[in-house]
């Protein structure tokens, strides 16, 4: 497979081709290849690239925490559901709001291990930094995509807007949306006939022990979302406990959560004074098939 066959110009949706270090569309829009190997497909002015110090800290915390593997059972659950619900053969996955691509690479690798399919995975995030990290790690893992070059197992990350994906109509086998906004209509446009949408969202018990220490009134999963045009075909709760072994890991997880912005000084002190903490991780995985009632 070749990623250029499914990518489309983010400005006019025409076909793209590569000319050395530039990606061009038929109408003459051009996009430069970054040294990390990605192409910025965010329409001008739509980026979130000017980051404040706080945001940088938050991204660093997420990168370090995920690298510890504490959420690996969640991406492994995604890989199993993809394996169960997608036909073997040529498989195109789109991670919509992929962050730095940690889960993207994990479930792509896991699915590839099952054998029997060519896989092309594309990840899009509003953050340029996310795409750069994703590409770097895809290359490290040995399945980073060189744009325009064919392969049987490729992963490629792009700065892009998930509400207006730079992808051809009906080009994707599955859209994966993990803890990110779900763009229902756009997902229907890019999915192949019978394609699936797989979502991951925090469950009710998620990080309960941390919330209790913080006395926060933030709650997860109050209402199951409805996605018109899709029919739910499977769901699974991934629930386990994990022990955070030191203060840095506790602080990193805290910074990834919405509690970080909502906690009293007293709650924060109580949490950050802990040497270790055992927390429940609870994620709701849901699979929807394209073709439900609109």
Ligand X SMILES: C[S@@+](CC[C@H](N)C(=O)[O-])C[C@H]1O[C@@H](n2cnc3c(N)ncnc32)[C@H](O)[C@@H]1O
In the complex, what is the shortest distance from the CB of residue 206 to Zn ion, in angstroms, rounded to a whole number? 41
Window of 8-16, 116-124, 209-217, 274-282 that interacts with Zn ion by CB under 5 A: 8-16
Q: Judged by CB under 6 A, which of 3, 120, 126, 197 binds ligand X?
A: 126
Window of 4-12, 81-89, 177-185, 244-252 that interacts with ligand X by CB under 6 A: 177-185
Among ligand X, Zn ion, none, residue 179 binds (CB under 5-8 Å by kind) = ligand X
Q: Judged by CB under 6 A, which of 87, 116, 181, 194 binds ligand X?
A: 181
Among ligand X, Zn ion, none, residue 251 binds (CB under 5-8 Å by kind) = none
Listing DSSP states for 126-190 in one string gives S-HHHHHHHHHHHHHHT-B--TT---SEEEEEEE--TTS-SB-TT-EEEEEEESS---HHHHHHH
Q: How far apart are CA 276 and CA 118, in angstroms?
A: 42
Among ligand X, Zn ion, none, residue 11 binds (CB under 5-8 Å by kind) = Zn ion
Instruction: Please choose, from the candidates 31, 173, 202, the residue with its C-alpha nearest in 3D space to the C-alpha of residue 95.
Output: 173
Binding of residue 161 to ligand X (CB under 6 A): yes
Q: How far apart are CA 207 and CA 212, in angstroms?
A: 9
Window of 5-13, 120-128, 166-174, 207-215 that interacts with ligand X by CB under 6 A: 120-128
Q: How far apart are CA 177 and CA 161, in angstroms?
A: 13
Work out whether strand 277-290 and strand 191-202 pair parallel, antiparallel, or are unpaired: antiparallel
Q: Write out the residues near ligand X by the rule CB under 6 A.
A: 97-99, 102-103, 124-127, 130, 161-163, 178-181
């Amino acid at each position: 497979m070749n990623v250029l066959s499914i990518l489309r110009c983010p400005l006019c949706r025409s076909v793209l081709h590569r000319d050395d270090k530039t990606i061009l569309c038929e109408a003459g829009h051009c996009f430069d290849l970054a040294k990390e190997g990605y192409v910025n497909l965010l329409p001008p002015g739509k980026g979130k690239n000017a980051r404040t110090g706080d945001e940088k800290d938050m991204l660093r915390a997420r990168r370090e925490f995920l690298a510890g593997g504490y959420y690996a059972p969640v991406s492994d659950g995604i890989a199993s559901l993809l394996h169960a619900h997608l036909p073997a053969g040529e498989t195109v996955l789109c991670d919509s709001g992929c962050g730095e691509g940690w889960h993207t690479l994990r479930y792509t690798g896991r699915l590839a291990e099952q054998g029997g399919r060519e896989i092309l995975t594309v990840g899009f995030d509003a953050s340029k930094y996310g795409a750069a990290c994703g590409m770097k790690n895809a290359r490290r893992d040995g399945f980073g995509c060189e744009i325009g070059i064919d392969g049987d197992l490729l992963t490629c990350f792009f700065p892009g807007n998930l509400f207006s994906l730079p992808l051809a109509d009906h080009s994707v086998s599955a859209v994966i949306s993990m803890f990110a906004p779900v763009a229902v209509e756009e997902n229907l446009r890019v999915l192949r006939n019978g394609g699936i949408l797989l979502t991951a969202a925090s469950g009710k018990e998620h990080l309960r022990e941390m919330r209790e220490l913080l006395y926060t009134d933030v709650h997860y999963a109050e209402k199951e979302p409805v996605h018109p045009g899709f029919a739910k075909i499977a769901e699974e709760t991934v629930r386990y406990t994990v022990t955070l072994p030191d203060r840095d890991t506790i602080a990193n997880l805290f910074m990834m959560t919405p509690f970080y912005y909502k906690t009293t000084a007293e709650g924060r002190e109580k949490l950050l004074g802990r040497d270790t903490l055992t927390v429940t991780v609870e994620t709701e995985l849901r699979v929807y098939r394209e073709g439900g009632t609109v």
